[in-house]
Amino acid sequence: MKPLTECHVLVTPTSYGRNDARLKSELELLVGKVTYNTTGKPLSSEQLQGLLPDVDGYIAGLDVIDSAAFSAAHHLKVIARYGVGVSNVDLKRAADLGIVVTITPGANSKSVAELTIGLMLNLVRPIIYAATSTHKGQWPRTQGVSLEGKTVGLIGLGAIGKEVARRLGGFDCRILANDVVVDRDFADSIGVQIVDRDILLNESDIVSLHIPALPETQGIVDAAFLASMKPGSYLINTARGELIDEGALFEALDSGHLRGAALDTFVKEPPGGDNPLLSLSQVIATPHMGSHTDGATNAMGWMALRDCLAILKGEEPAHQVT
């Protein structure tokens, strides 16, 4: 095994070290060579093939790490994902090559939860419209919906769902949740009611998604799911775009069955101006910015750095993907 001082580490997340310079200085002090992504965006498989041949450790963003990219990874020992999504990583090929993949669970939970609450407030109160109109010299009379006394349904009560539930506690609303595995002690402690999905959809004024994109959850928000939602309700997705059948969501919004939606993620990112959902005024769209805060990027950076260095030193990482 190489000593750290002879190792080459590739770092591709463009926000790595942006808010805490020690993330870069510490890495550069410990290893022999560090290469950073200077393109300003995630790397393609082809770009990685030109960078990986002599790389030992890889702190990875949303790059396409497929079989072709792995074909150039002659010395790679670890991919430390800066985040939790691994859909862009060929995990089977990594395992076949003995390359450890790690993630940073919980690092962005609070930031994504904060964005969820922000989107929720912007959906029920026309803040964006009112602010834009006022800047134009207008003085619109708007009518909003109060969160007080309403029902919010959380699909998923994991790390992010819990943080959303905690923050909703101050709004005097009823909170429902549905998940495959439920932390009932947590739910009981803050008054979250665990219910069947159909009950949640039928009774919630706002439904917020907080589950991972897995084969069994892909397209879970389909026409039947949307039809089961309360007429005039709202949908929020700060999880993964693959959860939603975007065509079905367009129909539910265009028909008026849903009053609005806030989407931080899309099936295709960026979605492009021709995505029908972007033509609807009742849709708030943001550019997958849930984890784009100083707190989240710092936490992801330190967790990815520690696991990357652990593998290069022959130690056990804290958050290995199995």
| 74 in active site | no
| 240 in active site | yes
Q: List the catalytic residue out of 125, 166, 288, 292.
A: 288
DSSP label of 34: E
CA distances (Å), origin 143, targets 67, 125, 149, 158: 53, 7, 17, 34
> If you search the block for the tokens 């999504």, which residue do you land on?
85
| 288 in active site | yes
Q: List the catalytic residue out of 81, 240, 259, 319.
A: 240
313-320: list long-range contacts, CB under 8 Å, 24+ apart.
Answer: 313/4, 314/1, 317/78, 317/80, 317/100, 317/102, 318/102, 319/102, 319/103, 319/104, 319/105, 320/100, 320/101, 320/102
154-157: list long-range contacts, CB under 8 Å, 24+ apart.
Answer: 154/178, 154/192, 154/208, 154/210, 155/179, 155/197, 155/200, 155/207, 155/208, 155/209, 155/210, 155/211, 156/209, 156/210, 156/211, 156/239, 157/182, 157/183, 157/186, 157/187, 157/192, 157/194, 157/210
Phi, then psi, of 226 in degrees rounded to 5: -65, -40
Q: List the catalytic residue out of 6, 28, 46, 269.
A: 269
What dihedral do alpha carbons 73, 78, 80, 86 form, nearest 10°?
70
d(CA 252, CA 217): 20
Residues designated as active site: 240, 269, 288
